[in-house]
Amino acid sequence: MMEKEFGLNDIVEMKKQHPCGTNRWKVIRLGMDIRIKCEGCGHSVLIPRKEFTRKMKKVLVKHEETNG
């Protein structure tokens, strides 16, 4: 199984679309649970990491770490 690479502040696409009609989510918390925020309506959900990696389709925008 391929490990999907995602990090904090990345914009990801989930397999299922959000009821508001958007499928862009921003990763706002990492840990045992992942908190993602809908880019369309601003609703945020907390889901277990295992479930998140299963339901995530792909990373749309990688957040670039800028140092100085």
| CA neighbor of 59 nearest in space, from 3, 2, 5 | 5
In a domain, 5, yes or no: no
Task: Please indicate, yes or no, if residue 26 is contained in any of the structural domains.
Answer: yes
> Residue 17: what residue type?
Q
Tell me if 39 is assigned to some domain: yes
Whether 48 is covered by a domain: the verdict is yes
pLDDT of residue 3: 54
Answer whether residue 3 is part of any domain: no
SS3 28: strand
pLDDT in tens, 1-31: 445 689 999 999 999 988 999 999 999 999 9
Other C-beta atoms within 10 Å of 41: how many?
Answer: 12
* Domains held by the chain: number: 1
For residue 29, tell me if it sits in a domain. Answer: yes
Across all residues in the chain, what is the average pLDDT? Answer: 89
**Which residues constitute the domain of residue 21?**
11-61
Q: Rounded to two decimals, what is the model's pTM? A: 0.84
